[in-house]
Structure 1
Amino acid sequence: MLNLESKLIIVEGRSDKEKVKKLVNDQVEIVCTNGTLGVERLEYLIETYQMDHRDVYILVDEDNAGKKLRKQLSKELPHATHIYIDKAFREVAATPESELAVALVSSHIMINPDFL
């Protein structure tokens, strides 16, 4: 059963999800898009995870595919909060844990203090 009280973070891939899950110390659900989404799949995810009624965070890579996905998600989820990683790291999975932890904390997501 969905916990609508929990926050929801949208990431691109499984390695991003595992990295974020390791850092977070909060009620957070992490959803993988597995890359760019088609309209039907995006609508399915929004409905299944009730994203219109939750605090949604978008955390994607700083590459062309990630920027395209962020733009697509922004249109469908205008209430979502965007979390950005430093362009130097390009990928969420390649971002050092301490840097990623700071980005998450700045969006009011509780992090295991060991990573700060």
Structure 2
Amino acid sequence: MKFEKVLIVEGKSDRIRVRRVLAEPIEIICTHGTISPYHLEELLTPYEEHEIYVFMDADEDGEKTRALFKREYPLAIHLYTEKVYKEVETTPYNVLAAVLQAAHFEVRPEFLIVRR
């Protein structure tokens, strides 16, 4: 299966949570925390022709990794969770769905419903 979009997250829990919200098959890659420019290049070389989306935690490590992406891959599109949630894996599903939908990802409609 050929993917046009690649979503980069920090960890396995982030990938599992985001995959549950998505309604389209995309490649989701984990950085497993802060990485070096060399490892970043190695990780992304197979995806040079893809749209790259970066969805990091709103914490110090996430911001360091995001800064590396901005420097090394300036065309990458950055997605942000609200700082109140700090991590992608603790962000409510409906918030994840809204962020992903705003970035033109197909999301499962049940996650667009605001639960009270």
TM-score normalised by structure 1 residue count: 0.91
1:27 aligned partner: 25
- How much has 1:101 moved relative to structure 2? 0.5
- How much has 1:40 moved relative to structure 2? 2.3
Identity %: 36
Q: Do the aligned partners of 1:6 and 1:27 also contact (CA within 8 Å) in 2?
A: no
Which stretches of structure 1, 4 residues or more, deviate above 2 A after TM superposition?
none
Name the CA distance, whole Å, in 1 between partners of 2:24 and 2:73.
22
Letter in 2 for 1:89: Y
Name the CA distance, whole Å, in 1 between partners of 2:20 and 2:93.
9
Q: Do the aligned partners of 1:10 and 1:30 also contact (CA within 8 Å) in 2?
A: yes
Q: How does 1:39-58 map to 2 (within 5 A)?
A: 39-47=37-45, 49-50=46-47, 52-58=48-54
Name the CA distance, whole Å, in 2 between partners of 1:40 and 1:75.
13
Name the CA distance, whole Å, in 2 between partners of 1:27 and 1:78.
24
Letter in 2 for 1:53: E
- How much has 1:74 moved relative to structure 2? 1.3
In the comparison of the two structures, how many residue pairs are matched? 112
Runs of 5+ consecutive residues of structure 1 not aligned to the other structure: none
Letter in 2 for 1:87: K
1:73 aligned partner: 69
SS at match of 2:84: coil
Instruction: Report the aligned-residue RMSD.
Output: 1.2
TM-score normalised by structure 2 residue count: 0.91
Runs of 5+ consecutive residues of structure 2 not aligned to the other structure: none
Q: Do the aligned partners of 1:105 and 1:111 also contact (CA within 8 Å) in 2?
A: yes
Is structure 2 residue 92 aligned with structure 1 residue 96? yes
Letter in 1 for 2:66: R
1:10-68, Cα deviation, whole Å (9 max, x unpaired): 00000000000101011311000000112321111111x32x31111100000000000
SS at match of 1:37: coil
SS at match of 1:114: helix
